[in-house]
Structure 1
Amino acid sequence: MPARPDNRTLLPLPAGPARRRIALTHTHPSSALPPDAAHVDAVVIGAGAAGLFCAAQASARGATVLLIDHASAVAEKVRISGGGRANFTNQWLDVRAPHKHFVGDNPAFCRSALSRFTPQDFIALVDAHGIAHHEKHKGQLFCDHSAQDLIDMLLALCGRGPGQVSRWQPCRVTAVQALNASRTETSSSTSIPPSSSSSERETADTGIHPARYRVTTERGSVLATSVVVATGGLSIPKIGASDFGLRLAQQFGLRVLPTRPGLVPLTFDAQDWAPFVPLAGVALPVRISTVPAPASDAAPATNPAASAQAGTRPGKAGQDGKGAAAKRAGPVSFDEDLLFTHRGLSGPAVLQISSYWQPGTPLTLNLLPEVDLADELLRAKASSRKRVANELARWLPARLADAWCARDPVWQRAIDQVPDKALQQLAASLQRWQLTPSGTEGYRKAEVTLGGVDTRELSQQTLEAKSRPGLFFIGEVVDITGWLGGYNFQWAWASAHACAQALPLAGDVPAQG
């Protein structure tokens, strides 16, 4: 067994740029295991939020766990989340209706895990460790001081159970090999035969070492009853995100759904967006929707400037959208803050809608969702001689009001000189602004990854692969994506807990032959 490291030096989950195929069989099988090989109850690959918590929960049951990660720092995504204060859960989570807060081909898949480990359960842990926290917005909980407090808690939990958590970090996994036949043969084109090593077959068959997998790394090999894949998604590659877990799933014959960036800023064609570049940094509360406002049959607008100028009434959107979100979600709206950027739009409203937006489809923005703007402008006309932009500045940031009125010479007049119809068109342009993004800022700025291991391949109670006993997938690598605001971390905790409670310990697994 590897020596147990000092808990203060625990570590997390990045990867190198090379996209190497994971070896599932050995090219040079040996008759004996390397001297550093050992048997553990579970190898957990990935020391991010889900991996650390799974290791801690398994250790609490008495399991021997080897935590492996190619990074040299622990839980880096936890550290940078929430502006460095870790938005670690959300009190508004409705575990009875997870589809309200999660996206995926089957959002209901997460109900079982979330109902058995709730936000209140994790809050109790945080409280027990004396971590001060506060609610910031819509149920979002943050550490008062630093995300490091949360990381320290996870590390402490790893060292507190009756079991043992050892770590190999930084360390790359180079091969994962199944030692026993799967419960159900898959149709994968990748063959994963039993080990050709007679000594390995013997230990697996006799039950002396109930190992079902051999994990080979840069530091050597280890036998494990279970392998837990907690390698996260593709978002934020600068901290080492990789597709390791997705490739591993595919090579074990599991279906992986297409991935794309989620909770990500949206971009627009540079020429179309040019009029709005000076607004970079302007923020305001808005209502953003994946479908246009009702009662319209106009064609979708693709040029945001043209739409803003003409006050285009939006048409039917989402007809050509592909993916589960487009097919199942229907109309989706968020009332949140929006931020103008040099390349497009960001802020909580845009990050939220990005998980539902489908390329090529328009979005509808209401820049003043709480105001009957047409009525207010007509009232102002009767009693004011101010410029229209000055009147708009009662509700909008002044820079935005000026830029918007510059779109049409009529809107640049004193309000009492503007025809009623033009004021109504101005109101429509601000409250039914339809625009079609050209893309996103990609994984480098995405907070999460949409898609991943198909939930139909996994048990919703345990997160174990149905066709590969002892192989588990938890956290972001699975096709479950939460809203902005702590939901993804709660999925990490809940899926890790469900997996840890299901991990068989030594002696639990009958001899297989």
Structure 2
Amino acid sequence: MIDAVIIGGGACGLMCAVQAGFLGKEVLILEKNEKPGAKILISGGGRCNYTNLYSGPQNFISQNEHFSKSAFSQWTVEDTISFFSSYGIEGQEKTLGQLFPVSNKAKDVVEVFTNLCRDLGQEIRCNCDVKSVEKTADGFTVMYEQDGKAKQIKSSKVVIASGGLPVQKMGASDFGLKLAKQFGLRLVETAPALVPLSITGKDAEWFANLAGNSIFCRVSNHRISFEENILFTHWGLSGPAILQISSYWRPGESISIDMLPHQAISDLVERERKQNGTKTLLTVLSSLYTRKFAESLAKYLPVNKNVASLTRQELDTITAFIHDFRLKPAGDKGYERAEVMRGGVATDDLSSKTLEAKKIPGLFFGGECVDVTGWLGGYNFQWAWASGFVIAQHI
């Protein structure tokens, strides 16, 4: 009988095992993949944006916006930075508080945990497919297969850190959700989050022809707005601002794109009219965007007219298009392209202080399978580290 079985050797599970080891507790990680930390290794293009300097409860989506406050007070951004620094990983800020290892190597992050687990005597068993978790009089029995062989282990506590539904080739599954349902916990409807959006219909070809063009924009809906780059693709839109808004977007809704968020296009055109009225609108737009994008606007705007000859109605059309380009995405690109899952185990059924299931003593949920979804830029890692730490204190 060990102190806990941790199902999932990702960010939350690894942090939980290490922190439990610091407290003298013996745990076992059961990992589905050949190696632990699969999603850590591919995050940030293999560079691992392991936290965000500005991370706080306001950067997370949940039906209970206050739920994460306790975990983030127990394990802060400063704790994350100090922890990794202690084991040789210094951070460098890229943009908007995003912190990456100076080495730019995600494997360095994983090695911190695998080395500590080895030193602390915490076992990581890989190629393990957990089949069931059953409650017993003195704890739990976990049934699993390892390399085709059926096995079981008894434990007084079980930690579900099995992640969410993205990305299947990284071992993603709905195991955590099914287990929560098995034990009578409620689920918040799940959906892909931080995911590119697809465009179909009459404008699809226009978007596809612009594939590879990137523009700094403000992307908004009635819930929130983000200022970062958007990226045109063969199937629609991606880039940081689109990934961010996707977590707040629902099918059938429109989004608004301001393609010049810090200047007024009307002021620029008016200035050009006074200085050189013979200049075309295309020339003005080409000073703001790539030539290809400026030329593509001929579909919507009178780009070949001299700015001096633009009518008031045309100026209004230009202003509305540049500052409030509205579109209705056809959908998203699904879990295989999503960074994370939105929704999951309902926070009302978990203790915010311990992350233990209120109905099932000894059963804990952390990381992505819980209804706490962060923004793009290291926020979800901060939640994983924090939830892993909190659980470790109570197993």
TM-score of the aligned structures, taking structure 2 as reference length: 0.96
Which letter does structure 2 place at the counterpart of 1:172? D
Deviations 1:178-234 (A, max 9, x none): 003xxxxxxxxxxxxxxxxxxxxxxx3xxxxxxx10111124111100000000000
**Could you say what the CA RMSD is over the residues aligned between the two structures, in angstroms?**
1.3
Deviations 1:87-139 (A, max 9, x none): 00011123xxx1x2000111210110111101110111111111232000111
Q: Distance in 2 between matches of 1:276 and 1:252?
A: 46
Q: Which has the higher strand share?
A: 2
Unaligned runs of 5+ in 1: 1-38, 181-203, 205-211, 292-330, 504-513
Of 464, 487, 501, the residue aligned with 2:379 is 487
Q: Secondary structure at 1:352's aligned position in 2?
A: helix
Task: Report what 1:249 is aligned to.
Answer: 180
Q: Distance in 1 between matches of 2:165 and 2:250?
A: 19
1:79 is aligned to 2:47: no
1:142 is aligned to 2:100: yes
1:338 is aligned to 2:230: yes
Which letter does structure 2 place at the counterpart of 1:179? T
1:155 is aligned to 2:114: yes
1:91 is aligned to 2:53: yes
- The answer to whether the Cα contact below 8 Å between 1:67 and 1:168 also exists between their aligned partners in 2 is yes
Task: Report what 2:170 is aligned to.
Answer: 239
Task: Report what 2:194 is aligned to.
Answer: 263
1:293-332 pair list within 5 angstroms: 331-332=223-224
Deviations 1:292-323 (A, max 9, x none): xxxxxxxxxxxxxxxxxxxxxxxxxxxxxxxx
1:185-196 pair list within 5 angstroms: none
Q: Distance in 1 between matches of 2:312 and 2:337?
A: 43
- The answer to whether the Cα contact below 8 Å between 2:81 and 2:91 also exists between their aligned partners in 1 is no
Task: Report what 1:401 is aligned to.
Answer: 294
For residue 368 of structure 1, report the CA deviation from its aligned partner.
Answer: 0.2
Of 69, 94, 100, the residue aligned with 2:31 is 69
Deviations 1:52-104 (A, max 9, x none): 1111111111111111012112111101111111000011123xxx1x20001
Distance change (3 Å), C-alpha of 1:346 and 1:247: same
Q: Distance in 1 between matches of 2:34 and 2:209?
A: 41
TM-score of the aligned structures, taking structure 1 as reference length: 0.74
Q: Distance in 2 between matches of 1:115 and 1:160?
A: 28
Q: Distance in 1 between matches of 2:272 and 2:366?
A: 57
- The answer to whether the Cα contact below 8 Å between 1:90 and 1:140 also exists between their aligned partners in 2 is yes
1:42 is aligned to 2:1: no
Deviations 1:448-491 (A, max 9, x none): 00010000110001110000010000000000000111110000
Q: Distance in 2 between matches of 1:399 and 1:92?
A: 36
For residue 270 of structure 1, report the CA deviation from its aligned partner.
Answer: 4.3
- The answer to whether the Cα contact below 8 Å between 1:388 and 1:405 also exists between their aligned partners in 2 is no
Q: Secondary structure at 2:88's aligned position in 1?
A: coil
Which letter does structure 1 place at the counterpart of 2:99? L
Residue correspondences, number:
389
- The answer to whether the Cα contact below 8 Å between 1:50 and 1:493 also exists between their aligned partners in 2 is yes
Q: Distance in 2 between matches of 1:167 and 1:444?
A: 26
Q: Secondary structure at 1:109's aligned position in 2?
A: coil
Task: Report what 1:281 is aligned to.
Answer: 212
Task: Report what 1:215 is aligned to.
Answer: 142
Q: Secondary structure at 2:128's aligned position in 1?
A: coil
Of 166, 173, 183, the residue aligned with 2:130 is 173
Q: Secondary structure at 1:261's aligned position in 2?
A: strand
Q: Distance in 1 between matches of 2:206 and 2:3?
A: 60
Task: Report what 1:417 is aligned to.
Answer: 309
Task: Report what 1:507 is aligned to.
Answer: none
Q: Distance in 2 between matches of 1:116 and 1:341?
A: 41
Q: Secondary structure at 1:488's aligned position in 2?
A: helix
1:449 is aligned to 2:380: no
Task: Report what 2:269 is aligned to.
Answer: 377
Q: Distance in 2 between matches of 1:344 and 1:155?
A: 40
Q: Secondary structure at 2:18's aligned position in 1?
A: helix
For residue 359 of structure 1, report the CA deviation from its aligned partner.
Answer: 1.1
Deviations 1:359-396 (A, max 9, x none): 11111110000111112112212332222111112222
Give the number of the structure whose alpha-carbon radius of gyration is greater.
1
Which letter does structure 2 place at the counterpart of 1:112? S
Distance change (3 Å), C-alpha of 1:380 and 1:424: farther
Q: Secondary structure at 1:287's aligned position in 2?
A: strand
Task: Report what 1:127 is aligned to.
Answer: 85
For residue 438 of structure 1, report the CA deviation from its aligned partner.
Answer: 0.9
Q: Distance in 2 between matches of 1:380 and 1:334?
A: 30
Deviations 1:11-56 (A, max 9, x none): xxxxxxxxxxxxxxxxxxxxxxxxxxxx111000000010111111
Q: Distance in 2 between matches of 1:70 and 1:262?
A: 23
For residue 149 of structure 1, report the CA deviation from its aligned partner.
Answer: 0.6
Identity score, percent: 42
Task: Report what 1:114 is aligned to.
Answer: 72
Q: Secondary structure at 2:39's aligned position in 1?
A: helix
1:501 is aligned to 2:393: yes
Task: Report what 2:159 is aligned to.
Answer: 228
Q: Secondary structure at 1:138's aligned position in 2?
A: coil
Which portions of structure 1, spanning 4 or more consecutive aligned residues, are displaced by more than 3 angstroms?
A: none
Q: Indicate the larger mover: 388-397 or 280-289.
A: 388-397
- The answer to whether the Cα contact below 8 Å between 1:41 and 1:226 also exists between their aligned partners in 2 is yes
For residue 159 of structure 1, report the CA deviation from its aligned partner.
Answer: 2.6
- The answer to whether the Cα contact below 8 Å between 2:177 and 2:369 also exists between their aligned partners in 1 is yes
